[in-house]
Amino acid sequence: MKIKSILIDDEVHNLQNLERLLEKNCPNVEVIAKASSAEEGIKFITKHQPDLVFLDIEMPGKNGFGMLESLTKINFEVIFVTAYSQYVLKAIKSCALDYLMKPIVISELQEAVTRVSDVVAKKNENYKLKVLVENLKEINQPKKIALPTAEELFFVSIEDIIRCKGENNYTLFFLTNNTSVLVSKTLKEWDDLLSSFSFIRTHQSHLINSIHVKSFVKKDGGYILMKDGSTVSVSKHRKEQTLNQLASLR
């Protein structure tokens, strides 16, 4: 399991050094962004929804503690990285899971990452359990799926999902209420989860809910027309499979 991490430090060489140490000694940590100020850190945290933030304390303007106080929700783990021992007690009393003193000792870095791994794994299991319980509670109702965004966790009935569009490491869900939800997971991950609910992967970037298909249009190489009027591409190598899947569901 990869731990999505953001590094925040106002000194570029510290960011580069920490990234190198993580890459060499903590392969389960994926650095998804580096920020050189509290303001930039807040922006990246909101955008990327990390599992973990390595946070320098002493920075110009707003320090690490001030940055955390500016956030409305802290749904990630924090490891403080500081060269100042006077901050250690405050770091322990704050939301930090751990702290590291500069210069960073590799063994201490690895121990801190191991503790984070255990916490993140438990959070993921709790998240999966929450979805399972939600489905079991509504056994006679349309199945629901949890869509985690930067701000909240949406529970959406699977039948209300019209289609999904992959956008790099994100997936955009189009819903029957004319809204869309951007989720930080790849389309492949959602394809694996939704294929048992009659969803069809028509293209590298498209996943459709078959109950919302209106027709297959043969012109222009072939494409899917959905009941909401949207059109979805069908790749050449998925065309036959898509038609067979649609036929088997009718």
Q: What is the pLDDT of residues 22-50, one digit of tens each?
A: 999 999 999 999 999 999 999 999 999 89
The chain-wide mean pLDDT, for the chain, equals: 85
Q: Dihedral of CA 34/38/44/50: which sign?
A: positive
* DSSP conformation letters of 65-115: HHHHHH-S---SEEEEEES-GGGHHHHHHTT-SEEEESSPPHHHHHHHHHH
Q: Where are the domains of the chain?
A: 3-125, 144-249
**Cα 144 from Cα 138, distance rounded (Å):** 8
CATH architecture, range 144-249: Beta Barrel (2.40)
pTM value? 0.52
C-alpha 108 chain-centroid distance: 27
Matching fold, domains 3-125 and 144-249: no
Its CATH class, for the domain covering 3-125, is alpha beta
Residue of 152 and 138 predicted with greater confidence: 152
Average pLDDT over residues 76-96: 68
pLDDT value of position 93: 47
